[in-house]
Amino acid sequence: MTWHLARLAGLAAIVSGQWVHYVTPGIPRTPDGKPNLSAPAPRAPNGRPDLSGIWKAPNGKYLFNLAADLKPEEVPFQPWAAALFQQRQDNLAKDRPTGRCLPHGVPDQMGVPGYPFKIVQTPGLVVILYEEMTHFRQIFLDGRTLAKDLNPAWLGYSIGRWEGNTLAVETTGFNDQSWLDDPGHPHTAALRVVERFRRKDFGHMEIQITIDDSEAYTRSWTVTENFNLLPDTDLLENICENEKDFQHLVGK
Amino acid sequence: MRTLLIGVILAAVASAQWVNYPTPGLPRTQDGKPNLAAAPEPSFFGYSSGKWEGDTLVVQTVGFRDDSWADAGGSPLTASGKVTERFRRPNYGRLEIEITVDDPKAYTAPWTVKLNQRILLDSELLEFICVDNEKNRSHLVGK
């Protein structure tokens, strides 16, 4: 809830802020000057699709349940993971990391509809800037491989490669602290996430996300999320101020 | 806007513990309602724009919070502050940054410092999350 109100406050900033009505360069427009969001996806100088831009989930569907497209009994929990998920539900998800200004993880940060994210694409590196809490991810496209023994991190370590017009990103090296979504689908440090980014046209991107964590789930499972481009605006600074929310949260 | 409102409603349904929780930092009118016409929130990093002057990238930044610290020692920086950074890379391994702080509310004249940075090769940033919230502060001493 606070996120969404914060976004409304953000709209105020857009109305009267530093970059009011600043027109994002390079966006195709209709004759009346409006962004043409169904124009073809742009290409980078190297011929690959250019994913750069500010993107936002259209709603909180997958934040509120990453397994929203599965029936509850279809989520392939290991027994302990099912029990932990139930425990988090019973406790109203009070111990969600973001309640203490700790990060969302991969993939749920992208699914937060109140906070957009910005993709900055270069030939060897794709950077994702998350508005919420000013976190970032680096996706290396320079041919490096993922090390076996990585210092566990909230957002892990990402490498990517182009498969035709799709950017396939593999991420490992997670800690076991982040939640896969707000209700708390769990994962372990064995988590491997594969994201397939496909910019369908100028204003729309699809990301297919596969959760592969054999310690928490009996098989890998996949969701497909869609995102909308936000034209003619920019990210706002967002700093999570310590411990001001947590005292207001209730559990059982 | 409509999408945002739907988002608010969905959020309220999914996480009812935050209903009616006042958003920190949201500008409000005298009767307590959100003031969406207020100026944007000042920020820690401000708002930056840059331009090239020959081989130098000149970056101007404004829009700071009024309670900013310009350094770890506590040199003040206020909402009237304007910071100009001139980035120059004299060779492969070095970066000079000339920084001018122009903040008439805190200082009687603009002042300038020059930083010399060295490039870090064959390395990468590590994730840093200020994860141990408020675990340090109780151990700090002042007067």
pLDDT at res. A234: 85
Instruction: Give me the residues of A, 12-71, that contact B with CB < 8 A.
Output: 12-13, 15-19, 58-60, 64
Distance, CA of A167 to chain centre: 15
Complex ipTM more than 0.85, yes or no: no
- On the question of a cis peptide bond just before residue A79, with omega within 30 degrees of 0, the verdict is no
Instruction: Give me the residues of B, 108-127, that contact A with CB < 8 A.
Output: 124-127
User: Rounded to whole angstroms, how far apart are CA atoms B127 and A24?
Assistant: 30
The residue of chain B nearest to residue A4, with distances taken between CA atoms, is: B8
3-state secondary structure of A221: strand
Q: How large is the average pLDDT for residues B42-46? A: 88
The one-letter amino acid at A250: V
The one-letter amino acid at A24: T
Distance, CA of A242 to chain centre: 22
Structure-token pair, residue A160: 């990517």
Structure-token pair, residue B51: 């331009």
> Which of A104, A159, A151 is closest to A126 using CA atoms?
A159
- φ, ψ at A246 (rounded to 5°): -60, -35
Q: Is the dihedral of CA A148, A150, A154, A155 positive or negative?
A: negative
Give residue A248's pLDDT band: very low, low, confident or very high (50, 70, 90): confident
What H or E segment, with its residue span, contains residue B14? helix B2-14
* Beta-sheet pairing, B111-118 with A125-130: unpaired
- The C-alpha of A183 sits at a distance from chain B's nearest C-alpha, in angstroms, of 9
The residue of chain A nearest to residue B133, with distances taken between CA atoms, is: A242
Give residue B13's pLDDT band: very low, low, confident or very high (50, 70, 90): very low
Q: B64 to chain A: which residues are within 8 Å by CB?
A: none
pLDDT at res. A138: 97
Per residue in A79-98, is it b (16+ CB within 10 Å) or e — as a string? eebeebbeebeeebbbebbb
Q: Other CB atoms closer than 10 Å to residue B6's CB: what's the count?
A: 15
Please check the confidence at residue A88 and state whether its pLDDT lies above 90: yes
pLDDT at res. B3: 46
pLDDT at res. B32: 72
Q: B34 to chain A: which residues are within 8 Å by CB?
A: 5, 8-9, 12
Q: B127 to chain A: which residues are within 8 Å by CB?
A: 153-155
DSSP at A42: P
The residue of chain B nearest to residue A175, with distances taken between CA atoms, is: B127
User: Rounded to whole angstroms, how far apart are CA atoms A62 and A58?
Assistant: 10
- The C-alpha of A169 sits at a distance from chain B's nearest C-alpha, in angstroms, of 18
The residue of chain B nearest to residue A96, with distances taken between CA atoms, is: B15
